[in-house]
């Protein structure tokens, strides 16, 4: 019996990109349903009543919420093909630690980079660079965060990369100047089909920001 896999998503979301990449890595066919977050659909409200957020992965009618939980679910449900998490318990704990770090520390300061100004934006820039430098140290000279294999931590972080041009433009700084290793890592990830398919063009994001600000009443 064929699996029915639906993903409720929003094209600029770095979180939605995580789940798309995971599904692509496992070569899973899915119905990608773009959501209007300013006018939430019945299915979104039914499938994620607690948070009412995307992404929502619906597998044979049953919803899984929270992007990193979805990535792990995908890895466990479709164990064939590329493993997204290491099999060693200590390595798994390290991967989850960094996924959690990215969740707590990366998305926080980023809104102020494209949507903020003045001192608040300056503080956000500083915080963002510090966080990226910590990640850079963790990456070291490895190809990917997990070593030679693309996986969970790479997936957790890479979606933010398509927003970098927007951050640089609206906050007036160069991420590559501060964190060249992160940029090099991102470019390596983009060579993978799963990532190239799942990340929108940076241009598209940058062009979208003024509209997003307007819709959020952030002018």
Partner 1 sequence: MASDEVKVIGAWASPFVMRPRIALNLKSVPYEFLQETFGAKSELLLKSNPVHKKIPVLIHADKPVCESNIIVEYVDETWSASGPSMLPSTPYDRAIARFWAAYIDEKWFPSLKSILKAEGEEEKKAVLAQVEEGNALLEKAFIDCSKGKPFFNGEHIGYLDIAFGCFLAWLRVTELAGGHKLIDEVKTPSLSKWAERFCNDPAVKPVMPETATLAEFAKKIFAKPPA
Site string for partner 1, 127-166 (x = CB under 8 A): -------x--------------------------------
> Which H, E and C letters describe 42-74, residue by residue?
HHHHHHCCCCCCCCEEEECCEEEECHHHHHHHH
If one asks whether residue 27 binds partner 1 (CB under 8 A), the answer comes out as: no
Q: Which of 3, 31, 97, 201 binds partner 1 (CB under 8 A)?
A: 97
CB of 132 to partner 1, least distance (A): 13
Of residues 68 through 87, those in contact with partner 1 by CB under 8 A are: 69-70, 72-73, 76-77
Query: Under a CB-based contact definition with an 8 Å cutoff, are residues 82 and 194 in contact?
Result: no
Secondary structure (DSSP) of the chain:
----EEEEE-TT-HHHHHHHHHHHHTT---EEEE--TTS--HHHHHH-TTT--S-EEEETTEEEESHHHHHHHHHHHS-SSS-SS-SSHHHHHHHHHHHHHHHHHTHHHHHHHHH--HHHHHHHHHHHHHHHHHHHHHHTT-SBTTBSS--HHHHHHHGGGGGHHHHHHHHT--HHHH-HHHHHHHHHHHTSHHHHHHSPPHHHHHHHHHHHHHHTT--
Q: Give the shortest CB-66-to-partner 1 separation in angstroms.
A: 6
Position among 33, 40, 92, 181 found at the interface with partner 1 (CB under 8 A) = 92
32 touches partner 1 (CB under 8 A):
no
Q: Which residue from 65, 112, 158, 205 is in contact with partner 1, where contact means CB under 8 A?
A: 65
Stretch that binds partner 1, among 13-21, 23-31, 60-68, 185-193 (CB under 8 A): 60-68
Q: Which of 91, 85, 73, 81 is nearest to 26 (CA)?
A: 81
Q: Does 11 bind partner 1 (CB under 8 A)?
A: no
For the bound state, the minimum distance from the C-beta of residue 187 to partner 1, rounded and expressed in Å, comes to 25
- Asked if residue 45 binds partner 1 (CB under 8 A), the reply is no
Which of residues 29, 36, 90, 148 is near partner 1 by CB under 8 A?
A: 90
Considering the rule CB under 8 A, would residue 198 count as an interface residue with partner 1? no
Residues making contact with partner 1 (CB under 8 A): 50, 59, 62, 64-66, 69-70, 72-73, 76-77, 89-90, 92-93, 96-97, 100-101, 134
């Amino acid at each position: 019996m064929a699996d029915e896999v639906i993903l409720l998503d929003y094209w600029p979301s770095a979180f939605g990109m995580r789940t798309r990449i995971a599904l692509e890595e496992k070569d899973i066919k899915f119905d990608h349903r773009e959501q209007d977050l300013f006018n939430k659909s019945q299915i979104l409200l039914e499938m994620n009543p607690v948070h009412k957020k995307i992404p929502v992965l619906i597998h044979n009618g049953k919803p899984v919420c929270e992007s990193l939980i979805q990535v792990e679910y995908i890895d466990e449900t479709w164990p064939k093909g590329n493993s997204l998490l290491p099999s060693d318990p200590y390595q798994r704990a390290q991967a989850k630690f960094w996924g959690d770090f990215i969740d707590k520390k990366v998305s926080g300061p980023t809104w102020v980079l494209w949507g903020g100004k003045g001192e608040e934006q300056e503080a956000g820039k500083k915080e963002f660079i510090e966080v990226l430098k910590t990640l850079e140290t963790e990456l070291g000279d490895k190809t990917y965060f997990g070593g030679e294999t693309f996986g969970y931590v790479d997936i957790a972080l890479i979606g933010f990369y398509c927003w970098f041009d927007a951050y640089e433009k609206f906050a007036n700084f160069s991420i590559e100047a501060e964190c060249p290793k992160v940029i090099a890592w991102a470019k390596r990830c983009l060579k993978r089909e799963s990532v190239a398919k799942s990340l929108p063009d940076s241009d598209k994001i940058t062009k979208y920001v003024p509209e997003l600000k307007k819709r959020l009443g952030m002018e």
